[in-house]
Structure 1
Amino acid sequence: MEGGLVASMFVIFTGGAVLATLALFARQALPVAYIALGLVAGPWGLAWVDDPALIGRIADIGILFLLFLLGLDMQPQDLLHLLGKATAVTLGSSLAFLGLGAGAALAFGLAAGEAAVVGAAFMFSSTIIGLKLMPTTTLHHRHTGELVIAVLLLQDLLAIAVLILLEGLGGGAAVLLRIGLGLPALAAAAFAMQRWVLLPLLRRFDTIQEYVFLLAIGWCLGGAELAALLGLSHEIGAFIAGVALASSPIALFIAERLKPLRDFFLVLFFFSLGAGYDLGLLPRALPLGLALALLAVAAKPLVFALLLRRIGEPRGRSREVGIRLGQMSEFALLISVAAAGGGALAPLSASALQLATLLSLVLSSYVIVLRYPSPIAVDDRLRRD
């Protein structure tokens, strides 16, 4: 097992370095290279890495660190203000995307139940693409980033409800009650711990960098676990843990120290996306998958831009936020697995939904990197971090 894991890491990071080099020369986004490597080296390709599930579980930690770092960059009062503005945008866009996704599935001959699942999966945008390609430390883009994270956080809550419903863990009222009670309890616990435990410890030992690094990781993962105990997602817990610590005078130092760790796990995450796809179903899944991917990249930016304009955001910012959210989400992959396991989706339909997600991630990454500032832009004028 140990040798297999070391060999898998060698394939992922050495192969990733090679494909990333080619991607930069071809002016492509680096996540595209990692997904392509997963397709080639995963169990459905050359099978150099035969346990993508293990890699995927490890890679999920990268999402937690990503949201934790975004939380560190946001003041709680600003977040509450933005969530109020983003609620109308999130609910309105979710209804529109539910109808678009379900309509496309019906047009390709899926049954009504399967079309509803596809529409539900179509509602959400990618946390990884939306935030990984966002310059978080540039003041000029800070409000744009806050809008993106506010929409994604609310989508996260909706996605949890969808997953719980699909897995048969409770009805709609129970889901809403769990979220309504769990989220305030999580926020209260996080801010109480921050005030009475974390800040006193940081004030006393802030000169010991190793301790600060360890405490930050423990706090991030602790918030994630507490959220899970309250019936919420690990991602929400990590984000709220970051927001609670944002007022600390060394929040920026913590963010800088954790970025390399975040990037390590995100390489694994993108690889696991490609490695988990069954290439044997590709020919039959391609028509619906391609149609959904193109619909996401074309329609989602327009819908988001229109809704953001209606709440008073400038035209340029509305367009940028729409494009940054113009793809399907990692949650669509989770929904496809849960629905297929429960019999709500046929294997071919689940494969088409997964293909649509991967294609939309690739297409959206390409558009964002070419048009807007990002940490991995190939144009020096657009490279920000």
Structure 2
Amino acid sequence: MQEQHAFPFLREIILFLTLAGILIPLLQRFRISQVLGFLAVGALLGPNGLALFANDIAWLSYLTFPNSDGVKVLGELGVIFLMFMIGLELSAARLWALRKWVFGAGVAQVCVCAALIGGTVLLMGHPMETAIILGFVLSLSSTAVVMQLMNESHTASTPLGLAGFSVLMLQDLAVVPLLILIGAMSKSAGSDPSWLIAGAMLKAGIAITLIYLVGGRLLHPLFRTFARQRQPDVFMALILLAALGIASLSALAGMSMALGALIAGLLLAETEFKHEIEMMIDPFKGLLMGLFFMTVGMGMDLRQVALNPLWLASVVLGLVTIKACVVAALFRYGGLGRGRAIEGGLMLAQGGEFAFIVIAYAVAGKLVAPELGQLVMLAVGLSLFITPVLTRIGRMIGDNWEHHKDELEAARDGEALEHVRERIIIAGYGRVGQLLGKLLAAQGIPFVAFENNAKLVAKMRALGLPVYFGDASRTELLRRVDAGSAPAIVLTMDHPMAALQAVRGIRREFPDIPLLARSRDARHALALKQAGATTVVPETLEASLQLSASVLETLGLDEEDIDRIVDDERDLFSATLARNAQLSKPQRQL
């Protein structure tokens, strides 16, 4: 008992970690959404599931969660970091590149769905505040589930995938005013709401603006200063400080911690440390998200399905029908083919994970009745469970309907979005990398660069260049920028061993991508070629050739003859390098 008091909820934490260790690999192996898996386990083992029989069957008490309070505290952390990760995805550059879909289809989808769903709730006899909250929250879809399904089907970079991602980004942004609205309406409950809501939203807007401005001025130089030390533990501490610190400031200002975490992510999304932060958090992302959704599952009482089967079925059917029709119409109007538009509508037809967060706040603020909130969250959970089936049906419709003609139409309409992913990737932005970037920019060729020197990155970012802090030898970082679709990756690193490791890692992960590398000398060039580099350019060779050309020009040789001599030497070196690399392969295999 003494140990339990010193470390409360230890049994629940150990049980969750055990389940996570078993569940996550199993779900990944069978390609089942982690969101759905954790929701199901939470509902099955929670206080409304098998835990009901724990008093009668003693051993069940070790495998269930009779009291959900044991994981609610950790679940709050899951919410905070879920919002933080979503904020990181919402960079201004991404929003602007996809502005047609984000601010066109995204805004229209939220507003039209909110009006239709809210109007239905109002006609059912519920108060206006309840109709407004449920209308907006049910207009949102599940970013976690939809993105996983698109990644599994390799449709994330297609015109449909980019359009769907754009709508999801706008929905994530819509959570900010929605959370502010709930806080304002809660404070104005029982009185004339109009001016109180306006005043509360104005205060919240001022608080967010101050947090954003002050946080932006503090976070960026703070990360830049400590990034020079290149210590992962310091970097991780800064990430936690940013997420939890700004979430706490948001709570002190009278807003939710989830909103503060989203603001922290938005602040860091505009810095050069964005991709490095995503990689640092990624190992914990699935665990924290699983914790959140398991907590949500524990709050779902599946007995309500038996008590209200027709009501729940009608709510789920109505929700899916309204959202599928609205999204399909908007996608079709935006230029996608009929089949792909229907597929997109069914893919985004479910309720979202934000419903669990927002409805919980609304119930706490007495804007939604607890019984209604419980039933709506259960309906959202059921809509999440049928999403893989709806997506599969949508894909069948799209494939059968589109054929070649409509697929070409969808590809044409996606040309404006294609530049988002097709970028040259430059690893190392020193002297050579900067010259390459300058030449590419002069030709209008998009690129993205990674550099380990935080001071240099800050300088390049100030000039408006797409340079980010990070080690491009880490393939996780390259996956973040969709390196598989890049026309080429160019390594301009100064350190020979770092370049060699980068070539090996990139070639292992992306076997077919053109990989061009800078080498110190002929020996280093041979090692890079053996590791899998497509083209290697040695510094010493090019310097010698340029110097030789200048000498020959001074001696009065014709310019064409000089170019021919230099090209012959360059070709001879390339042929020798390729031959030596080929001869060394059997030795390396032995």
TM class by smaller structure: 0.7 to 0.9
Give the match's secondary structure for 1:352: helix
1:98-109 aligned at under 5 Å gives the runs 98-102=114-118, 104-105=120-121
Indicate the residue corresponding to 2:233 in structure 1: 210
1:269 to 261, 274, 292: 292
CA contact (8 A) 2:84 2:261 kept: yes
Map residues 92-171 of structure 1 onto 2, 5 A cutoff.
Answer: 92-102=108-118, 104-105=120-121, 110-111=125-126, 118-130=134-146, 135=151, 140=157, 143-144=162-163, 147-169=166-188, 171=196
Q: Distance in 1 between matches of 2:270 and 2:122?
A: 49
Greater helix fraction, Structure 1 or Structure 2: 1
Select the residue among 245, 250, 255 that pairs with 2:278. Answer: 255
2:49 matches 1:41: no
Q: Separation in 2 of the partners of 1:148 and 1:111?
A: 29
SS at match of 2:308: helix
SS in structure 2 at match of 1:50? coil
2:261 is equivalent to residue 238 of structure 1: yes
* Structure 1 residue ranges without an equivalent (≥5): 373-385
Worse-superposed segment, 71-80 or 358-367: 71-80
In structure 2, stretches of 5+ residues that fail to align are 52-63, 396-590
Is 1:351 the counterpart of 2:380 in the alignment?
Answer: no
> How far 1:190 sits from its partner (Å)?
2.9
1:99 touches 1:119 (CA, 8 Å); kept in 2?
yes
The within-5 A match list for 1:77-96 is 77-79=93-95, 86-96=102-112
Residue equivalent to 1:55: 71
Higher RCO (C-alpha under 8 Å, 6+ residues apart): 1
Give the Cα–Cα distance (whole angstroms) in 2 for the partners of residues 337 and 74 of structure 1: 24
**Alpha-carbon distance in structure 2 between the residues aligned to 1:255 and 1:117:** 31
User: What is the CA–CA distance in structure 1 between the aligned matches of 2:253 and 2:365, rounded to whole Å?
Assistant: 24
Query: Does the residue aligned with 1:329 lie in a helix, a strand or coil?
Result: coil
Which of residues 27, 33, 48 in structure 2 aligns to 1:29? Answer: 33
Question: Structure 1 pair 63/134, CA: closer, same or farther in 2 (3 Å)?
Answer: farther
Q: Give the match for residue 293 of structure 1.
A: 316
Q: Which amino acid is 1:9 matched to?
A: I
| Residue aligning to 2:202 | 177
Per-residue CA distance 1:265-306 (angstroms, 9 max, x = gap): 111111111111234444333322222222333332331343
CA–CA separation in structure 2 for the residues paired with 1:162 and 1:226? 18
* 3-state SS of 1:167 partner: helix
Cα shift at 1:23:
5.6
Q: Secondary structure at the match of 1:140?
A: coil
> What is the match of residue 84 of structure 2?
68
The match for 1:7 is: 11
Query: For 2:393 and 2:27, how far apart are their aligned partners in 1?
Result: 13
Contact conserved, 1:102 with 1:115, CA < 8 A, in 2? Answer: yes
Partner amino acid for 2:267?
A: A
The answer to whether the 8 A contact 2:106-2:166 is kept is no
Aligned counterpart, 1:221: 244
Q: 1:331 to 1:352 in 2, by over 3 A?
A: same
- Name the counterpart of 2:226: 201
Would you say the 8 A contact 2:13–2:71 is kept in 1? no
**Offset of 1:326 from its aligned partner?**
2.5
Q: 1:25–1:257: structure 2 CA closer, same or farther, 3 Å change rule? A: closer
Segment drifting more, 234-243 vs 187-196: 234-243
Equivalent position SS for 2:187 = coil
CA 1:53–1:368 in structure 2 vs 1: closer, same or farther (change >3 Å)? farther
Secondary structure of 2:330 counterpart? helix
Count of equivalent residues: 369
1:58 deviates by 1.4
Paired with 2:73 and 2:143, the residues of 1 have a C-alpha distance of: 17
* Whole-angstrom distance in 2 between the partners of 1:146 and 1:181: 30
Residue 352 of structure 2 is matched in structure 1 by 329
Q: Structure 1, residues 73-92: CA drift from partner, whole Å, max 9, x if none?
A: 55434435657863454443
CA contact (8 A) 1:161 1:176 kept: yes
Q: 1:148 to 1:98 in 2, by over 3 A?
A: closer
Q: Mean Cα displacement is larger for which, 60-69 or 339-348? A: 339-348
Larger mean CA deviation between 359-368 and 342-351 belongs to 342-351
More strand by share: 2
CA distance in 1 between counterparts of 2:29 and 2:151 reads 22
Q: CA deviation at 1:174?
A: 2.5
1:289-348 Cα offsets, whole Å, 9 max, x none, are 2222223333323313433554x4645886676555422234433454455556655554
Percent of aligned positions with the same letter in both sequences? 24
RMSD: 3.9
- Flag the structure with larger Rg: 2
